[in-house]
Structure 1
Amino acid sequence: MPSRPGAGLRPRALAFLLAAVPTTAHSHAAAAQETIALDEISVAGAAPMPGSSPSPGPGQVARPAFGVAAPPGSAPSVIERPVGEVVTAIGRQDVIANRPATSVAQVLVNSPGVTVRQGNGPRDVVVSIRGNNARSTGVIKNMVVLEDGFVVTQPDGASRFDITDPRAYSRIDVFRGPQSPLFGNYATGGAIAFRTRTGREIEGYEVGIDAGSFGTLGRYFTVGGASGPYEVSLFASDFRSNGYQDHSSADTQTVNLLASYTPSPDNRFTLKVINNTLEADLPARSSLAQYRINPYQRGCASAATAAPGCTTVNLLQNGAFGTTVPVTASEGAFGRNDRRTIIAARWEHDIDANTTWRTQVGFDERNFNQPFYTTSSRGSYPSYNVLSDITHRGEVFGLPTVGYAALSYSAIDNHISLFNRAPYLGPRLGALASNQEAAQSNLGGRARAEVALSDRWAGVLGVSAENTWLTGRTLTYAYSAAGTTRMAADIDRSFLNVAPELALVYRPDDTLAFRGRVATGYATPAASQLFVTPAGVPGNNTDLRTQTNLGVDLGVDWSPLPELRLSLTGFYEFFRNELVTQSPGAGLLSYTFNAPASEHRGIEAGAEWAFSPGWRANAAYGLNDQFYTRYVEQLSAGSLTARFDRAGRLIPGVPAHQLLARIGYDQPTGPLKGLGAFVEAVYQDGFFLDNANQLKAPGYALLNANVHYDTDLVGSYAKRLSLYVEVRNILDTTYIASAQPLANSISAATGLQNGAGVLATTTGSIFAGAPRSVVGGMKLAF
């Protein structure tokens, strides 16, 4: 087996981490509303189970169930505090409440094991957990996303964070590792559960405004309250920016409603509505060579007068065939015009003192118009999902048990038309390139039991089974002077997947917990992946298989002092038929293939330390070592074909190290009470851009600083005033915020694999990150 690049460094890094990072913590006095927790959280019934969180301490507030601020029923939601899971809870302090957090990228880096990348738009952040989805540059895959307990991942596994304005949330839980026994299809990497602020938390209304560098302007308001059986919270925001690159302005609006009605102690109804509209200009992704010359793609208004390093894309002059014309992003009017609407409702009913039944139904439509690069995609993805579950607290063979069972059904209709682009005169369409219609449905069941084996030991046993059906057709059109030809590709596939889980938690005392977990996950291919060939054009790619993984987690949580919490988790995951997406070149569609076998392993560490009155330090670290163990790649050029064994090569797009470290101070008493500041550093290691590991995107380290002031207003109509200003990327570091992995190639003359020099000049890969920026804001609560 060929040696892996950098293989000599990773054992030393692993040894260093194990020696340098203390064993870890389990926090769980349930956190106050304004806390950040880097520890693991678990489900608790009426009496705490071993491995679950203890009851709230003096002055602390118990966390309500997702979406219901009224006293929770007899059995909390299974995702609220699950025993044995590796979960990080991220609160508001220093993350959302006192800073201009415009995207979830600034929030989710607070969780160990999470990597964030810039997507195609201001809030289109690409999030990966344990390196899953790190290769993507747009749609989120390999994780399930929920909001207030409602699934906002569409049935084809696609999630986008355009709809997610972080200022709406009070807490975000990040589930790490395979989660299909808990969340079903597509949870091979984990899950993220957002919790919006309820009416009872707001109790009034708030207005805020942020403004700063590059024409950034954000305005938002929140209103909420509770009266009798009713509770409502409404968040709305308007965000605009000119962007730090040429042709990267954006305009997006979000409305987020959460309402609950409790007509009786044993019945609770919850309504969830999200609507987001987005208009964004998109710059062109550059090659690594162009990035080094002109990272922000400035001076690129016209191809004829473009500055050195500008990216151009060749569009068909007549929009159908023949001569091409090079255009810049501005000349091609690259952009996105999208809308997303979600409407969902849930009924919770306490059958008896120990049993709760929940049923929820949701409708989710993603409508898009995306004219960028050589094609323009227009389509609508309406979908719906139904989930009915029951949670029962009782005994099995005399052992206290929390049991959970669920049935789920979801379906999506995909209709997308792909047009060639024509140059100039705005986002002009050319001839129809392809038309795709497909339907996907998923029917599954899940069951889980948490058992208190003794006063020190807790066990978890779970399983998920799900069948996915995919049917559809894509028609592809080719044009020439002789006329038009049409080709059809059909799919009629079904996938049956089963995923078990087993976990054990041992708690020798209230400050220490050891946990072990073995779990599995699965992700079926989506219709969009089945209809793009390795050449990067619409066609037949219908032989893709289900991605599966088996993961082993070992962790320890330790709180040696009340003000100190530490966590450490090691994981090893074995993938089969991993779905890998990469770009075949400039202006072409990214395609997906199965890597037969690969391994992911690493370490995740988190720490929180209130080491002195007013002082607080946080750290989140992730180490990823991911490589192919069985994969032979076939490359062709002209009449030549060659095969290359990629076993032992690192998987592209996955950085080995990522770290967030923050230290801050808030004046706790006196006339300056509420005045605070923090400094944080964000580090991400470099990563390879290709399967042969020839070309590497460099890593980076960023330094950010924040000053804020939060005070009660006595004798005023307003109740509270918050002021803040933040400088991001203080050292004005030039860095890569996103890089699409590239396909290797061979010489059409010799059949030999082309080197790093060819890859470095391949466009369609890189977005630079934001240079130094200053954003300040204020918020008034009434």
Structure 2
Amino acid sequence: MIRITKDARRGGAIVGALALAMLQPDFARASTARPPSRSTHAAPAVPARRAQQKSKPRLQSDRPAPRPEEITVNGVDRLSVAARPTGQTTYSAERSDFANRSAQTVADMMATIPGVTVMQGNGPRDTVISVRGSGARQSYGLKNLSVTEDGFPVTQPDGTARADLIDPHAYAGVDVFQGPASSLYGNYAINGAINFRTRNGADVHGVELGSDFGSFGMINNYVTLGAGNRRYDLMLFGSDVRGNGFIPNNAYATSTENMRLRVVLTPADRLVLKVINNVTDTFLPLRLSLSQYLANPYQQGCANAASASNGCASVNLLSNGRYGATRATSPQQAGLGRFDRRTIVGLRWEHDFNAQTQWRTQFTYDQRHVDQPTSTTAFVGPFNSYNVQTDLTNRGHIGATPLTSFVGANFDYMDYGYQVYNLTPQGGATRGALNSTSYGHQFNIGLRFQEDWKFAPKWRAVVGLGGTYSDIGAVETLYAYGASSRSLQYVTANRYFFNLAPEASLVYAPSKAWTLHTRVGTAYATPSYSSFFVTRQGNYGNNTSLKSETSLGFDLGAEWRPSADIDVQATGFYEFYHNEFVSQSAGVNTAAGSYTFNAPASEHRGVELGATWCPLRTRMPGLQFKLSYTYDNQIYTNYMETLTSGAVSRSFSRKGRYIPGVAPHFLNARVMYDQPDGVFEGLGAFAEVAWRSDMWIDNANILKVPGYALLSLEVHYDPPARFGWAHRLHSYFEVQNVTNQIYAAGATVIADSLLSSGRQAGAATLAGKTGSIYAGSPRAFMGGVRVRF
């Protein structure tokens, strides 16, 4: 049902309003104010009246606006099946969860979402997002997830997505679809999918200028331009963030541009244009061993490797850049860092055949170009991707019962060519001789369908099936040097994969207060080109025998909303993995660093809990409590690991061992208050505690990284409308890590070792293995101001 004001009828605006209501899914959803972090098990109708009211310009006086005459027009919900899958565990964070704080990275956006944890990647905004442990064993990016923005893919065909692109100031919210999800989202959706939603231009309705500033030289200047009516909606965002970092050799500069334009061509046709551009220029410290971290977490006194303090990290660089002697070099002396550029351009056409059937087709071009002198080598090259998707959604009936049918197809292709150079100790990331090269391609062809049947007033059933054919062809050339010679070795990978993923779910809503759901889902992920060419020792070489990983998962969940003051969601999951990908660091003095292997069988099981409570709605309506808790227990059920020391090799069963890199407990709790009226109207604050338990970082479960608890405090002020022009200002101040805890913000898995005696090395030996830990920020002060025009 759509409500249109009497004034809107002039000039054929009813047709325009109907077309607006049929805009693409993320537009309708972004205009809908849902409770933060609410679990979604079914696709509710879009409250179009609220969306229309939200798009109105703000009044500049306290006088109430005249109430317009309303006409009711019947319409249809245009949310696509893939955009909001029925029966799948889904949690969301809205702009209200992160807009009143510093929000410099995606970690600030997703702090309140159950099942999601974050770790520090290789760079200031390279946050590793983990959904049910998906990326917990990675040193960078977003792995084992299908990631989109406004419905356009930002995961390339090799499964790579990075969070450098994301400046939270540009976003209205984010949705996380948890559990095996390849039936709808294709390759790499082994742990689920994420869709980021940028703001609507009509909601911005003008220009917003803002600046954030804080400890360690951080400053972020940003601008948002927004405009929209019934024919178009434009959002244009740009930001530039710089800082010195709290660790030496961690200064950075990142610029981001983000644009989305929606145009209604006819009542039945719409176009959506999407553009993202990001340039990341950052120096990079080295990941530490546990011993180095405990001795010198912030790497003080480490600028000169020859006279470095205790606990400093360094790399051994070839003196002549080719072979022979090496020299210990600090990250500052070597000039380690990253200079990456990412550009994404997408165009989607949406066409309505009739009121029940919608067809969508989109094309996305995605290029990332990397220049990464991150250890003993520099990794350089372009990665060009092309993605075509098309889908059809029909909302019909079987008799009197509603049936939504969805079918989609996709083709994506990536060609790449990278070179790896040895670094020399001359400084400035000076390149020496070629270490290796790799050239190749990867493409995926997928087909998927889903049937969503509301077979009874309180029941819905979903069945679906997806499949992908993947082709990877690449050749790696390895260079070896001597005093007067050079030899070449070739490693070839020509692999083909075909995977299927069925799913089924059931949703039962016995009352307005309760929604129950159960789901069985499957997923798959093929190896990426890069994992084929890194050996167990962390050097470039042959690892082409990797297999696809697959998973079978069961979810059982419930949502309880007895009143507007309480919202509780809980989901239990149990997932079985076959040939799970596990990556581990071989140390900083290796060419590639991380090696990937298949664990034949493993299990993931856990519980996700999210709760929002307004305890004093009548006396203190601005008081709210929010809780997010995740328990994630992951174990190997079949894995024999072979360790080698010289001529001695031994195999060890890891059955029953915890999969490293996964913290079993993670909790986020907030107490928030916003004054709704009176003298202090617009003043608000919150206190937040984030707790993470300790975790194993090796397959044998010998070495643990300690957990931590962080306290943050924030206060913000939005002057009320009665203050005139001052109403356009927003300001905040935040103290992060109030107690100045030393903690590990990122810790990648390390390889176990074998002693010459044939015994496994103990904790003392493993604590000396480098390439694992980044320390988190000490106490930091952040502030900011934003003004609307």
* TM-score interval for Structure 1 and Structure 2 normalised by the shorter chain: over 0.9
Instruction: Give the match's secondary structure for 1:598.
Output: strand
Note the alpha carbon deviations across 1:158-181, whole angstroms, 9 max, x for none: 000000111110010011111111
Which letter does structure 1 place at the counterpart of 2:461? Answer: G
Selected match of 1:151 from 150, 153, 159: 153
Which letter does structure 2 place at the counterpart of 1:403? Answer: S
Matched, 1:181 2:183: yes
Percent of paired sites with the same residue = 44
Give yes or no for contact 1:31–1:62 (8 Å, CA) kept in 2: no
**1:701 & 1:277 partners in 2: Cα distance?**
33
Task: Indicate the residue corresponding to 2:639 in structure 1.
Answer: 631
Deviation at 1:533, TM superposition (A): 1.1
**2:75 & 2:715 partners in 1: Cα distance?**
37
Selected match of 2:394 from 366, 386, 392: 392
| Residues 204-219 of structure 1 mapped to structure 2, 5 A cutoff | 204-219=206-221
Selected match of 1:255 from 245, 254, 257: 257
TM-score of the superposition, structure 2-length normalised? 0.91
Give yes or no for contact 2:93–2:175 (8 Å, CA) kept in 1: yes
- The verdict on how the C-alpha distance between 1:59 and 1:196 changes in structure 2, with shifts beyond 3 A counting, is closer
Give yes or no for contact 1:142–1:187 (8 Å, CA) kept in 2: yes
Matched, 1:751 2:758: yes
Task: Indicate the residue corresponding to 2:23 in structure 1.
Answer: none
Give yes or no for contact 2:91–2:176 (8 Å, CA) kept in 1: yes
Give yes or no for contact 1:726–1:774 (8 Å, CA) kept in 2: yes
Task: Indicate the residue corresponding to 1:619 in structure 2.
Answer: 627
Matched, 1:161 2:168: no
Task: Indicate the residue corresponding to 2:777 in structure 1.
Answer: 770
| Residues 128-527 of structure 1 mapped to structure 2, 5 A cutoff | 128-227=130-229, 229-396=231-398, 398-527=400-529
Give yes or no for contact 1:75–1:392 (8 Å, CA) kept in 2: no
Note the alpha carbon deviations across 1:306-340, whole angstroms, 9 max, x for none: 12111111111111111110011101111000000
Instruction: Give the match's secondary structure for 1:304.
Output: helix
TM-score of the superposition, structure 1-length normalised? 0.92
Task: Indicate the residue corresponding to 2:611 in structure 1.
Answer: 607
Selected match of 2:667 from 655, 659, 663: 659
Note the alpha carbon deviations across 1:28-81, whole angstroms, 9 max, x for none: x9897666522212453xxxxxxxx366499677999xxxxxx99753222443
Give yes or no for contact 1:40–1:86 (8 Å, CA) kept in 2: yes
**1:296 & 1:72 partners in 2: Cα distance?**
59
Task: Indicate the residue corresponding to 2:110 in structure 1.
Answer: 108
Note the alpha carbon deviations across 1:565-598, whole angstroms, 9 max, x for none: 0001000000000011111223222111000000
Instruction: Give the match's secondary structure for 2:596.
Output: strand
**1:456 & 1:228 partners in 2: Cα distance?**
35
Deviation at 1:397, TM superposition (A): 5.1
**1:54 & 1:512 partners in 2: Cα distance?**
18
Selected match of 2:693 from 685, 691, 711: 685
Task: Indicate the residue corresponding to 2:37 in structure 1.
Answer: 38
Give yes or no for contact 2:673–2:684 (8 Å, CA) kept in 1: yes
**1:403 & 1:695 partners in 2: Cα distance?**
50
Which letter does structure 1 place at the counterpart of 2:628? Answer: A
Which letter does structure 1 place at the counterpart of 2:780? Answer: S
**1:189 & 1:110 partners in 2: Cα distance?**
18
Give yes or no for contact 1:43–1:80 (8 Å, CA) kept in 2: no
Deviation at 1:97, TM superposition (A): 1.6
Deviation at 1:764, TM superposition (A): 1.2
**2:39 & 2:239 partners in 1: Cα distance?**
32
- Gaps of at least 5 residues in structure 1 are 1-28, 45-52, 65-70
Instruction: Give the match's secondary structure for 2:95.
Output: coil
Which letter does structure 2 place at the counterpart of 1:436? Answer: S
- The verdict on how the C-alpha distance between 1:35 and 1:239 changes in structure 2, with shifts beyond 3 A counting, is farther
**1:550 & 1:62 partners in 2: Cα distance?**
43
**1:79 & 1:663 partners in 2: Cα distance?**
34
Instruction: Give the match's secondary structure for 1:298.
Output: coil
Give yes or no for contact 2:30–2:172 (8 Å, CA) kept in 1: no
Which letter does structure 2 place at the counterpart of 1:610? Answer: C
- The verdict on how the C-alpha distance between 1:227 and 1:172 changes in structure 2, with shifts beyond 3 A counting, is same
Task: Indicate the residue corresponding to 1:19 in structure 2.
Answer: none
Note the alpha carbon deviations across 1:726-745, whole angstroms, 9 max, x for none: 10000000000001110111
Task: Indicate the residue corresponding to 1:671 in structure 2.
Answer: 679
Give yes or no for contact 2:30–2:173 (8 Å, CA) kept in 1: no
Instruction: Give the match's secondary structure for 2:456.
Output: coil
- The verdict on how the C-alpha distance between 1:72 and 1:198 changes in structure 2, with shifts beyond 3 A counting, is farther
Instruction: Give the match's secondary structure for 2:670.
Output: strand
Note the alpha carbon deviations across 1:223-263, whole angstroms, 9 max, x for none: 01014522211010000010000110010000000001101
- The verdict on how the C-alpha distance between 1:59 and 1:157 changes in structure 2, with shifts beyond 3 A counting, is closer
**1:510 & 1:80 partners in 2: Cα distance?**
24
**1:63 & 1:85 partners in 2: Cα distance?**
28
Instruction: Give the match's secondary structure for 1:528.
Output: helix
**1:515 & 1:717 partners in 2: Cα distance?**
48
Which letter does structure 1 place at the counterpart of 2:340? Answer: D
Which letter does structure 2 place at the counterpart of 1:772? Answer: R
**2:518 & 2:690 partners in 1: Cα distance?**
29
- The verdict on how the C-alpha distance between 1:57 and 1:139 changes in structure 2, with shifts beyond 3 A counting, is closer
Deviation at 1:763, TM superposition (A): 1.1
Higher deviation after alignment, 769-778 or 710-719:
710-719
Deviation at 1:765, TM superposition (A): 1.0
Instruction: Give the match's secondary structure for 1:162.
Output: helix
**1:417 & 1:629 partners in 2: Cα distance?**
38
Task: Indicate the residue corresponding to 1:725 in structure 2.
Answer: 733
**1:35 & 1:429 partners in 2: Cα distance?**
52
Instruction: Give the match's secondary structure for 2:718.
Output: strand
Corresponding residue pairs, total? 738
Give yes or no for contact 1:32–1:62 (8 Å, CA) kept in 2: no
Instruction: Give the match's secondary structure for 2:615.
Output: strand
Which letter does structure 1 place at the counterpart of 2:79? Answer: P
Deviation at 1:622, TM superposition (A): 0.3
Higher deviation after alignment, 220-229 or 618-627:
220-229
Which letter does structure 1 place at the counterpart of 2:85? Answer: P
Which letter does structure 1 place at the counterpart of 2:602? Answer: S
Give yes or no for contact 2:32–2:47 (8 Å, CA) kept in 1: no
**2:472 & 2:375 partners in 1: Cα distance?**
28
Instruction: Give the match's secondary structure for 2:509.
Output: strand
**1:740 & 1:72 partners in 2: Cα distance?**
51
Deviation at 1:109, TM superposition (A): 2.0
| Residues 529-548 of structure 1 mapped to structure 2, 5 A cutoff | 529-548=531-550
Task: Indicate the residue corresponding to 1:709 in structure 2.
Answer: 717
Give yes or no for contact 1:637–1:746 (8 Å, CA) kept in 2: yes
Which letter does structure 2 place at the counterpart of 1:607? Answer: A
Give yes or no for contact 1:301–1:328 (8 Å, CA) kept in 2: yes
Task: Indicate the residue corresponding to 1:15 in structure 2.
Answer: none
Task: Indicate the residue corresponding to 1:700 in structure 2.
Answer: 708
Give yes or no for contact 1:31–1:61 (8 Å, CA) kept in 2: no
Give yes or no for contact 1:230–1:259 (8 Å, CA) kept in 2: yes
Deviation at 1:82, TM superposition (A): 2.3
Instruction: Give the match's secondary structure for 1:597.
Output: strand
- Gaps of at least 5 residues in structure 2 are 1-27, 56-73
